[in-house]
Chains A and B, each alone.
Chain A
């Protein structure tokens, strides 16, 4: 009998990278369905194009770099889906394709591939598209108006955040509209309900922990309350939390493994930083939306936060010497 000799441990959990990515995809399904219901099948088409472009690009990158297996881990599919969800359903069909290629080649592959990227690939691609086609990306279809229509100008609408940037609460949009997704916006940002279902899935499966999303949303809520505009600070806070890309950003983007810290304290500071920058950009920035750039800037701090906010040493009291 030939016996193998291997190092301990001799058993492994059933968790693997592909399964984690699959869990993220599943957690995004409610949001995708909400996007299709709100904006029509054009939204689905945008998603399919973005995912196909990302996966195909990953395949090519894998062949070039010799990391053949990289396409099967599912991470490119996640990037493609996330990118599409940050776009309005009205963008031209080539745009998600260009974004997908940029996300995989520049933001991911050139950084060294999965686990090495400094910036969230989907958000980096969105920032890239904003650089060249800003007007296309802030022109939103009204809920239910789009179907397969390509001429978005006749159905364009203001998003809640665009209204709020002008200093008041959006008219004609109730909190319930905001919660369910009956507003203008990007495919994946409108339905808070769908995003929260996704968050529940990610938390229940321990794919992510609560720290980054709670610190992020909590900071935005606190600052919105403190710097409220209009007569009702509570309403301003609720609209600020439900409006724009905050929830999809806090739940799915800021928690990206590669580009966020892993230590408990690092994650809290990261979330608070994302929240503070988001509010700053929303109030002072050119665009009414601030999530994309807030997360991208905090991405740059991820490794530093891990290094300078490490867990405390076992048996060493907090801040004190060994006893």
Chain B
């Protein structure tokens, strides 16, 4: 019954830096910066204008079916709607709200008796709450519920948190266990599945114990413990590890939900609670007191980091997300968004100084979880050889970073593939 995925790496976890510390609530900031697009899909249109007074939880931006609404996370006055830098790189239109520190909230209405709801009603509640996938892609969760209802045998709950350093999912599982299990039950029922399988890596023993205790002997819940290996939390790898099946290229990966997303689904449905705040791991050797913080969306990285004692002088790089796939930010002015799970403060840059030639050791290929041949992809990407790149299935690359991580010549493999994929798409 052991299903493993191929390839992958074992970077040092560094999870002990932030794990087990009490969650500190970051004080609501003077102003919040709410990007109008925090998800995969189309951007929201602002529903407010400068000068408007807004309440906490009020929808301030919404769009078509492929978008997910954004909410005011404080009460106060809209001061501007303008382009601001965002953690995913570049800038996006944002609603800027000056906090009046009254926290006047719109009334939240959930459906405690959720068992009476069908998938459509649940999807509507989830969309109204602005819940998007917290595992990285930030895909609107309501769309996933709508597209997988009645079509899935098991619901997969992704609790791997395989990126080093990050412990925010771990913290949710330990501190909001009831919401996680409640969400897992809810999704299994609503999607018409036999059960929800919560897949978790064996480096989180406290969370495993908490989940098992909360689930009891409920046949709707299975806690599946997997040996720790990066990138087990990638959707295709997790599906392979849990079910033994490989998702075909281009096929939908089905009912797979991140564990924090699952808790947010439960809160949205049962309490009508929109996504206003989230747990973010502030960590890394550059963080003075690494810990998990509860922070309102729209709070700047600088304010969030302050709650963890600030950052050390020797910090050279701050990454939104984990060290393997996270994006480094240019300044700490960017806001925490729905998809932010960690603020990683590094005191050392990855070693790329000793870039030598490829020695064809083949380690990149042996760790590639998608069975690709990075050594040849790198060679052909350098020469812009589109045909060869297609033959080598460049598009299957999910940019997990394993090849770059192991490369003894310290070649910028992943970086090159990101650019090459753009080139293939752009037709240039």
Task: Mark A residues whose CB is within 8 Å of B.
Answer: 1, 3-13, 15-17, 19-20, 69, 73, 75, 113-116, 209, 257-258, 262-263, 306, 310-316, 322-323
CB of B427 closer than 8 Å to a CB of A: no
**A3-B329, A8-B401 as given contacts; A13 in contact with B11, CB under 8 Å:** yes
| B88 → chain A closest CB, angstroms | 12
**A9-B414, A262-B365, A313-B393 as given contacts; A3 in contact with B359, CB under 8 Å:** no
Contact with A along B11-49 (1 / 0, CB 8 A): 110000000000000000000000000000000000000
| B252 → chain A closest CB, angstroms | 12
Task: Mark B residues whose CB is within 8 Å of A.
Answer: 9, 11-12, 164, 236, 246-251, 311, 313, 315-319, 323-332, 344, 346, 349-352, 354, 356-363, 365-366, 369-373, 375-376, 392-393, 396, 399, 401, 404-410, 412, 414-415, 418
Complex contact A13–B406 (CB within 8 A): yes
Complex alpha-carbon distance, A5 and B332, angstroms: 12
**A10-B346, A314-B249 as given contacts; A263 in contact with B315, CB under 8 Å:** no
Complex contact B326–A8 (CB within 8 A): yes
Q: Which residues of A contact B9 (CB under 8 A)?
A: 13
Q: Taking CB as reference atom, which chain A residue is nearest B249?
A: A315
Complex contact A19–B408 (CB within 8 A): yes
Q: Taking CB as reference atom, which chain B residue is nearest A322?
A: B248
Q: Which residues of A contact B351 (CB under 8 A)?
A: 12, 16
**A113-B357, A257-B361, A322-B248 as given contacts; A9 in contact with B404, CB under 8 Å:** yes
Q: Which residues of B contact A73 (CB under 8 A)?
A: 356
Complex contact B248–A15 (CB within 8 A): no
Complex alpha-carbon distance, A75 and B408, angstroms: 13
| B374 → chain A closest CB, angstroms | 10
Complex contact B328–A9 (CB within 8 A): no
| B319 → chain A closest CB, angstroms | 6
Q: Which 9 A-B pairs have the closest CB atoms?
A: A262-B362, A9-B401, A7-B415, A315-B248, A311-B371, A315-B246, A10-B323, A115-B359, A11-B323
**A10-B328, A13-B406 as given contacts; A209 in contact with B366, CB under 8 Å:** yes
| A24 → chain B closest CB, angstroms | 11
| A165 → chain B closest CB, angstroms | 35
Complex contact A3–B316 (CB within 8 A): yes
Complex contact A10–B373 (CB within 8 A): no
Complex alpha-carbon distance, A19 and B360, angstroms: 15
| B87 → chain A closest CB, angstroms | 12
List 9 A-B pairs, Cβ < 8 Å.
Answer: A6-B328, A8-B404, A10-B324, A11-B11, A13-B405, A16-B408, A73-B356, A316-B249, A322-B249
| B105 → chain A closest CB, angstroms | 35
Q: Which residues of A contact B406 (CB under 8 A)?
A: 13, 15
Complex contact B356–A114 (CB within 8 A): yes
Looking at chain A's contact residues, is the secondary structure mostly helix, strand, loop, or mixed? Answer: loop
Q: Which residues of B contact A8 (CB under 8 A)?
A: 319, 323-327, 399, 401, 404, 414-415
Q: Which residues of B contact A314 (CB under 8 A)?
A: 236, 246, 249, 369-371, 393, 396
Complex contact B357–A263 (CB within 8 A): no
**A313-B249, A314-B370, A322-B248 as given contacts; A10 in contact with B319, CB under 8 Å:** yes
Greatest chain B CB density within 10 A among A20, A69, A311, A314 is at A314
Complex contact B410–A16 (CB within 8 A): yes
Complex alpha-carbon distance, A12 and B361, angstroms: 16
Complex contact B236–A11 (CB within 8 A): no
Kindly identify which residue among B316, B323, B330, B396 contacts A9, using a CB–CB cutoff of 8 Å.
B323
Complex contact B316–A4 (CB within 8 A): yes
Complex contact A6–B250 (CB within 8 A): no
Q: Which residues of A contact B313 (CB under 8 A)?
A: 1
Complex alpha-carbon distance, A82 and B327, angstroms: 44
Complex contact A20–B408 (CB within 8 A): yes
Complex contact A17–B408 (CB within 8 A): yes
Q: Which residues of A contact B330 (CB under 8 A)?
A: 3, 5
Kindly identify which residue among B349, B354, B360 contacts A4, using a CB–CB cutoff of 8 Å.
B349
Q: Taking CB as reference atom, which chain B residue is nearest A5?
A: B328
Complex alpha-carbon distance, A306 and B392, angstroms: 11
Complex contact B359–A257 (CB within 8 A): yes
Complex alpha-carbon distance, A323 and B406, angstroms: 32
Complex contact B359–A114 (CB within 8 A): yes
Kindly identify which residue among A20, A69, A114, A322 contacts B250, using a CB–CB cutoff of 8 Å.
A322
**A313-B396, A314-B246 as given contacts; A9 in contact with B325, CB under 8 Å:** yes
| A9 → chain B closest CB, angstroms | 3
**A115-B360, A263-B365 as given contacts; A316 in contact with B346, CB under 8 Å:** no
Complex contact A4–B248 (CB within 8 A): no
Complex contact A9–B356 (CB within 8 A): no
Q: Which residues of B contact A209 (CB under 8 A)?
A: 366
Kindly identify which residue among B315, B346, B360, B370 contacts A1, using a CB–CB cutoff of 8 Å.
B315
Complex alpha-carbon distance, A262 and B407, angstroms: 14
Complex alpha-carbon distance, A263 and B326, angstroms: 30
Complex alpha-carbon distance, A8 and B54, angstroms: 38
Complex contact B373–A262 (CB within 8 A): yes
**A5-B317, A314-B249, A315-B249 as given contacts; A10 in contact with B350, CB under 8 Å:** yes
Complex alpha-carbon distance, A59 and B325, angstroms: 39
Q: Which residues of B contact A12 (CB under 8 A)?
A: 350-352, 404-405, 407, 410
Q: Which residues of A contact B315 (CB under 8 A)?
A: 1, 3
Greatest chain B CB density within 10 A among A7, A16, A19 is at A7
Complex contact A3–B318 (CB within 8 A): yes
Complex alpha-carbon distance, A22 and B346, angstroms: 30
Complex contact A311–B361 (CB within 8 A): no
Q: Taking CB as reference atom, which chain A residue is nearest B245?
A: A315
Q: Taking CB as reference atom, which chain A residue is nearest B317?
A: A4
**A5-B328, A15-B408 as given contacts; A257 in contact with B362, CB under 8 Å:** yes
Q: Which residues of B contact A310 (CB under 8 A)?
A: 373, 392
Q: Which residues of A contact B392 (CB under 8 A)?
A: 310
Q: Taking CB as reference atom, which chain A residue is nearest B319?
A: A10
| A258 → chain B closest CB, angstroms | 5
| A254 → chain B closest CB, angstroms | 14
Complex alpha-carbon distance, A60 and B146, angstroms: 67
Q: Which residues of A contact B346 (CB under 8 A)?
A: 10
Complex contact B164–A316 (CB within 8 A): no
Q: Which residues of A contact B357 (CB under 8 A)?
A: 113-116
| B324 → chain A closest CB, angstroms | 5
Complex contact A313–B354 (CB within 8 A): no
Known: A10-B349, A12-B404. 9 other contacts (CB 8 A): A8-B415, A13-B405, A15-B406, A16-B354, A19-B408, A115-B359, A312-B371, A313-B396, A322-B251
